[in-house]
Amino acid sequence: MTITLALIAVTSAVSLSALYLNRKILNDGMLIPSRVIREGTWYELLTAGFLHASFTHLLVNMFVLFFFGIVLEQNLGVAHYLALYITGLLVSSLPSMVYHRDDPTYATVGASGGVESVLFGFIFLFPTESIYFILLPIPIPAWVFGLVFLAYSIYESKKGRGNVNHQAHIAGAVWGIVYMLIFVPNGLDHILTILGLI
């Protein structure tokens, strides 16, 4: 079993248990920044990434992780891939900690930060590969998709509508690129080669 499939299995098991068997798992594991500051429950920065607000939320995240994670895992190796995912979960929690630390009513869950880190790690390695939407089967270059996704996330984050944690999406996406540049051997050379600068 690949690490990607293991992450999907564990995340699905924990999320479904929290949603349908024991809500205490959800309540104790979700990220509530004010609780983290007040009670020192720093584990929430990680545990929230294994919980989801609904079955659809879980399905979308695991769908994206499956299609991009397996390819990235094969190219990075297990250690870098797992490090990228776990640090993506942690880094993507930081905006929530900063902006909502004084709001006891704010809570967030989801693997989106880690998943976006994986997605943008894929975009970094394969910027010219085509990405398809199920409802819009038109090939979109990965780098174009990445820019559109970031622009949309920034726009929605400024609007502050709905319950989607766009700040986590942005942080996870940016971290995916940063990780690839700093920690993956020859990451900088790879992108400079694609840009035709070396």
Which residue type, as a one-letter code, is found at position 177? I
Chain segment 111-123, per-residue pLDDT in tens? 999 999 999 999 9
Domain 3-194 is found in CATH 3.40.710.10: no
Domain ranges of the chain: 3-194
Specify the 3-state DSSP secondary structure of 122: helix
Instruction: Tell me the pLDDT tens digit for each residue of 29-51.
Output: 999 999 999 999 999 999 999 99
Q: pTM to 2 decimals?
A: 0.93
Q: Does residue 44 contact residue 101 with C-beta atoms inside 8 Å?
A: no
User: d(Cα 95, Cα 89) in Å, to the nearest integer?
Assistant: 12
What residues contact 126, with CB distance under 8 A and at least 6 apart? 71, 142
